[in-house]
Amino acid sequence: MALVNEHMLKLPQNYLFSDIAKKVNSFKLVHPNQRIISLGIGDVTQPLPPVCIEAMHKAVEEMAHVETFRGYGPERGYDFLREAIIKNDYAPRGVRLDASEVFVSDGAKSDCGNIGDIIRHDNSIGVTDPIYPVYIDSNVMCGRAGTLEDGRWSNVTYIACNEQNGFIPNPPDTRVDIIYLCYPNNPTGMVLTKEQLKKWVNYALRNDTLLLYDAAYEAYIQDPEIPHSIYEIKGAKKCAIEFRSYSKTAGFTGVRCGYTVVPKELTAGTLLGERIQLNGLWNRRQSTKFNGTSYITQRAAEAIYTPDGQQQVRTTIGYYMQNARMMKQTLEQAGVTVYGGDNAPYIWMKTPDGMDSWRAFDQILYETGVVTTPGVGFGPSGNGYLRLTAFGQREDCEAGIERIANWLK
C-alpha cells in the first residue's frame, strides 16, 4: 500500500482565497445585478512591458532555427540574465555578488517553498505575523511546523506585528533556527529601514539563525533610504538567503521568473558541528528537481534591465503606486487607520469598532459589493484588519475605495 505524506493532512482545509471565492459566489447569486469590485486581488492587471514582448518574439524566432535553437539551459540560469541581475539589482547598491551565487527560477513562491529541502526537518521556524501563508504551509507539509494548537503551529514562533509596534517587529527574545522575513511586506505593506533590518541581521549572526528574506516587492520601494536587499546590511551574506521575483516587478505572474541568491559565505551546521555551504546544497537541489526557466522567459527578464525596460517597468509600478496613494488618502480622509501603501502595493486597513476581519469582509461585500481580503487569513495578528491591493485598474480602485469610504461614514 502506498502511504500518503500525513503532514499534508494537517493543513487546514479552509484556504483563504477559496473561502473568499465561495462567499463572493454566494453574494452573486443573491445580487446578480450588483457590479462587484475586487480590491482583494494579489495579481497584476497591466500587460507586460513592450521590451519583454519584443524579447520573447525574438527568442521564439531563435528557437525556430537549428543554428540558434536552445535546449536545456545552464542549471543556475543563463549568464546573460545572472550578469544583468548582478549589474543592475546589486552592484549599484554596493553589493558584490558572483554569478554562481544567483539561481534563476520560475518564481519566488516555488523557491520559498522548496528551500526547505536543504534544511533539517527539525529546525525551529519563526515568522512575522501576519505573513504570506506559503512560509508556514510549506513547513507544515514536511512536518517541520509541528502540530496545530488553537490556530498556531507548535514549532513556529509567531513574531507579532500589531498596532503596538506599528507593524514593525523586533527580533524575538528567544533563539529560532530559521526566520522568514518579507519586505516590503505582504500583507501589511510595511518596509524596514536599514537600522531596523540591521537588528535582524545582528540577531541572526548572534544566534546562528538563517534568515529567508523575501523581497518580491522591492521594486515598489519609493523611499530612497529603504534597503532593497538584505545584503545592503553588513554581515547579511553570512546569514541570509534572498528571494526575488519578476511577478510584481514586471507583470510576470503568468510568465514565471524570479531568482534566489545564496551567498557562498552562507553556511549551516550538521549535528557533528561541521559547517556546510548552502550554495552547494541549493545547486544540488535545483539540478536534481528543477530543469530551469525557459530561454524565452529568461530573455524577457533580461530585457527588463535595458534602459527602455527600466522606464516601462517604472511607469507601470508608478500606475499601481498612484492607485495606492489615492486609496490610502481616501481611507485616511474617511477617518480610518491605515498602514502600508507608501512603498508597497498593499494597504492594511484597521476595521472600524474593533470588528473582526471576516465580519468586516462580509459587511463590506454585502453593503458595497467590494471584495477585500480578511487580515486574519494571514495569521492571528491580522485579525481586525483588511488587506486592500492597488493592482486593479484605476477606475475600479477609485470606485471601490469610494464605496468603502462611504460605508465607513
Q: How many positions of this chain bind ligand PLP (CB under 6 A)?
A: 13
For ligand PLP, the binding residue among 109, 144, 299, 387 (CB under 6 A) is: 109
Q: Does 108 bind ligand PLP (CB under 6 A)?
A: yes
The answer to whether residue 300 forms part of the interface with ligand PLP (CB under 6 A) is no
Alpha-carbon gap, residue 388 to 39, rounded angstroms: 5
Among the listed residues 40, 49, 107, 375, the single contact to ligand PLP using CB under 6 A: 107
374: left (phi over 0), alpha (psi -120 to 50) or beta: beta
Cα distance between residue 76 and residue 82, in whole Å: 8
Query: Binding string, 240-259, against ligand PLP, x = CB under 6 A?
Result: -----x-x-----x----x-
Q: Which residue, 214 or 342, has its beta carbon nearer to ligand PLP?
A: 214
Shorter beta-carbon distance to ligand PLP: residue 162 or 253: 253
Q: Does 44 bind ligand PLP (CB under 6 A)?
A: no
- How many CB atoms sit inside 10 A of residue 236's CB? 27
Entry field: residues in the chain = 409
Strand partners, 245: 258
x/- letters, 176..195, toward ligand PLP (CB under 6 A): ------x---x---------
> Measured from the CB of residue 88, what is the shortest distance to ligand PLP in angstroms?
18
**CB 297 within 8 Å of CB 303:** no
Q: Which residues pair with 149 in a beta bridge?
A: 152
Q: How far is the CB of 1 from ligand PLP (least distance, A)?
A: 35
Instruction: Calculate the CA dihedral of residues 321, 95, 204, 206 and round it to 10 degrees.
Output: -140
CA dist 13 and 239 (Å) reads 34
Options 89, 214, 218, 242; binder of ligand PLP; rule CB under 6 A: 214
Residue of 130, 125, 160, 150 lying closest to 140 (CA atoms): 125
Asked whether position 344 contacts ligand PLP by CB under 6 A, the answer is no
Q: Does 40 bind ligand PLP (CB under 6 A)?
A: no
Residue type, 98: D
CB neighbour class for 71 (10 Å; exposed up to 12, middle 13-18, buried from 19) = exposed
Q: Is 216 in the site for ligand PLP (CB under 6 A)?
A: yes
The number of angstroms, rounded, from the C-alpha of 268 to the middle of its chain's C-alpha atoms is 24
| Residue, CB closest to ligand PLP | 107
**Interacting residues with ligand PLP between 123 and 152 (CB under 6 A):** 132
Q: Which residues bind ligand PLP (CB under 6 A)?
A: 42, 107-109, 132, 182, 186, 214, 216, 245, 247, 253, 258
